Amino acid sequence: MKTRRDPSVTLEPTSEQAQREPDHPGLGQEGQLQAMHTSPEHTRLGNEVDGAGVEVNGVSFSAGQLAALVDYVGPLTILSKYSTEKLLEMRKLLEEACDSTEAWDRVTGRTYSDLALHNQDHFAPGGGGPDHKSSFVGYYQSAWSAAMLAGTREEGSPEQQAAMDEARLLLYTAEHYLQDAFSAGHMVSGGAIDEGVGAVYGPVFMAAVPAIAEEVFRRCSDVISQYGFLGLNPIDTPAEFETIASIGGWWKGETGAAASVRKALHEKLGGKGGEGVVVTSAAHPEPWTLWGDEHIDPIGEGLLLAALSEARDGIELEALVGGTSGTAKALALWERHAPVPTSDAQARIDQLVEEATCSTMALQAAVVEGTCVTIEEAMDAVCVQTHGGIQRMTPREEGPSEEPVSGAPDLAFPFTYVVREGDWLSTIAERFYGDPMLYGIIADENPMISDPDHIEVGWKLSIPDPATRGH
């Protein structure tokens, strides 16, 4: 039986903990740190507290493994869409503590990389948009509703088991975001970074276009010299790539730039040798230093395990017998246990966000990292198909607009879109087609959509050309 820890008890490091991380610069009096609050640590922490595993398409996963999978596939209810072979490979990667982007992209069909570009929901609130708190509360309420449904089914019936499996998948999805809140690297606001990057991205990006063009040319020159660009005249100078680079940047670059800044600050605060963040919580009002993702301190671990235990009891005991509000339970749990930066620590975080998003050098580096795309993506970014022909596009003179696209889209079809928090089929149709009423085209193209009113975060949707659908 696994223990459930009392957060009021100050935890001393065990000999095993000390061996894992013997010397960490800046370690205070909280004790030695434990290594890896990434995939292996998500797995370990999730398995420290009593919790039933779930079998998906014949493949069994533990509670901790499921919590870790959220980084790679998004909400766990999507797992049933993967084959048994793919699920076995995922479990093997988790057991091997593999964090190879190539390996995870291969088994998830690039979902991992796509999610990494849109991972604001794993970071702190602020600036609008999804964050780890709202994600935890939302998925926990969904788990609560599924568990309440299970409570109405016949005891021990397949229907009850199916409902509880869904409840647990949603619960462990929520738990991933709760675990993220105990990492210093996730104390920055993803929304604030998006706002900062958007405010200064345009002028900085235009200054960086020549460097991007040269890098894209370097990466793609072999393909271009052999085949030409889409069968047109070969492109053999970096200058001819300026259009490709600039349109590619507007297409993906601001997103890539923001993701790169989030990653940089994540490592600055929570990476190995990072600064850490001084925090408090209602359950532990005395300040302590939070580390993670690569480390978790004993105080933070004790609070997190207590929170996980309380969250699971809520689903397995209270909701199953008709408890009334998963949202209230989740909010109370979060407010009691989740760490909050001290005022000085928050000022430091705000300073780092401002420096990272407003620094020309930082943004140029981030933009280059975010927009050096594959040749296929470059072709999508700079060309549109019109009546069977190919038309070169010219760079925009102004920064990207968040307004819905009107008329013909700027991208070649078909286009792959990853569903984000707050999306509806109608808003996606408006973004790509300029008309929300064309949502049926997208629904017809994607077999996983059985109900146009229900799409899930993390789904990869194929956006077809409306001209080929009789519209």
Higher pLDDT, 422 or 20: 422
Cβ neighbour number for residue 249 with a 10 Å cutoff = 31
* Helix, strand, coil distribution of the chain in percent, nearest 5: 60, 10, 35
Mean model confidence pLDDT for the chain: 73
pLDDT value for 1: 32
**Is the pLDDT confidence value at 214 over 60?**
no
pLDDT value for 382: 34
**Is the pLDDT confidence value at 337 over 80?**
yes
**Is the pLDDT confidence value at 32 over 50?**
no
Cβ neighbours of residue 316 closer than 8 Å, sequence gap 6 or more? 52, 147
Q: How far is CA 311 from the centre of its chain?
A: 22
Q: 443-455 pLDDT, tens per residue?
A: 999 988 988 888 9
- The DSSP 8-state label assigned to residue 422 in this structure reads T
Higher pLDDT, 181 or 41: 181
Burial of 53: CB neighbours in 10 Å, binned 0-12, 13-18, 19+: middle
Band of residue 464 on the pLDDT scale cut at 50, 70, 90? confident
Query: Dihedral of the CA atoms 1, 151, 326, 180 (nearest 10)?
Result: 40
Burial of 152: CB neighbours in 10 Å, binned 0-12, 13-18, 19+: exposed
Band of residue 403 on the pLDDT scale cut at 50, 70, 90? very low
HSE value, Cβ hemisphere, 13 Å, CA-based, for 314: 29
Q: What amino acid occupies position 373?
A: V
Q: How far is CA 152 from CA 141, 142, 147, 160, in A?
A: 17, 16, 9, 8
The pLDDT of 403-430, averaged and rounded, is 64
Higher pLDDT, 305 or 193: 305
Higher pLDDT, 322 or 404: 322
Cβ neighbours of residue 125 closer than 8 Å, sequence gap 6 or more? 131, 132, 133, 134, 189, 191
CA distance 424 to 430: 10
Q: Are 100 and 129 in contact (CB under 8 A)?
A: no
Cβ neighbour number for residue 305 with a 10 Å cutoff = 22
Q: Are 10 and 284 in contact (CB under 8 A)?
A: no
Find the range with the poorest average confidence among 180-189, 307-316, 386-395.
386-395
CA distance 159 to 164: 9
Find the range with the poorest average confidence among 71-85, 140-154, 237-251.
237-251
Dihedral class, residue 419 (left if φ above 0, else alpha if ψ from -120 to 50, else beta): beta
Q: How many residues does the chain have?
A: 471
| Largest distance between two CA atoms of the chain | 71
Determine the angle formed by the axes of helices 360-371 and 190-227, rounding to 10 degrees. 50
Of all residues in the chain, what percent carry a pLDDT higher than 90? 37
Q: 9-21 pLDDT, tens per residue?
A: 333 333 333 333 3
Q: Are 196 and 264 in contact (CB under 8 A)?
A: no
CA distance 236 to 225: 7
**Is the pLDDT confidence value at 94 over 50?**
yes
Find the range with the poorest average confidence among 54-63, 214-223, 284-293, 324-333.
214-223
The pLDDT of 152-181, averaged and rounded, is 95
Give the pTM: 0.64
CA distance 29 to 5: 20
End-to-end CA distance of the chain: 60
Determine the angle formed by the axes of helices 39-48 and 63-73, rounding to 10 degrees. 150
The structure tokens 């605060």 sit at 269
Backbone angles phi and psi of 296, in degrees to 5: -135, 130
Determine the angle formed by the axes of helices 132-151 and 326-337, rounding to 10 degrees. 140
Band of residue 358 on the pLDDT scale cut at 50, 70, 90? low
Band of residue 114 on the pLDDT scale cut at 50, 70, 90? confident
Q: Are 410 and 432 in contact (CB under 8 A)?
A: no
pLDDT value for 257: 66
pLDDT value for 108: 93
The pLDDT of 425-433, averaged and rounded, is 81
pLDDT value for 213: 52
The three-state DSSP-derived secondary structure of 245-267 is: HHHHHHHHHHHHHHHHHHHHHHH
b (16+ CB within 10 A) / e for 354-375 = eebbeeeebbbbbbbbbbbbeb
The pLDDT of 213-241, averaged and rounded, is 46
Higher pLDDT, 350 or 5: 350
Cis peptide upstream of residue 23 (ω within 30 degrees of 0): no
CA distance 338 to 278: 13
The pLDDT of 246-251, averaged and rounded, is 41
Q: Are 289 and 297 in contact (CB under 8 A)?
A: yes
The pLDDT of 259-288, averaged and rounded, is 87
pLDDT value for 146: 92
Band of residue 255 on the pLDDT scale cut at 50, 70, 90? low
For each of the domains in the chain, give its residue range(s) and CATH number, in order of start.
403-471 (3.10.350.10)
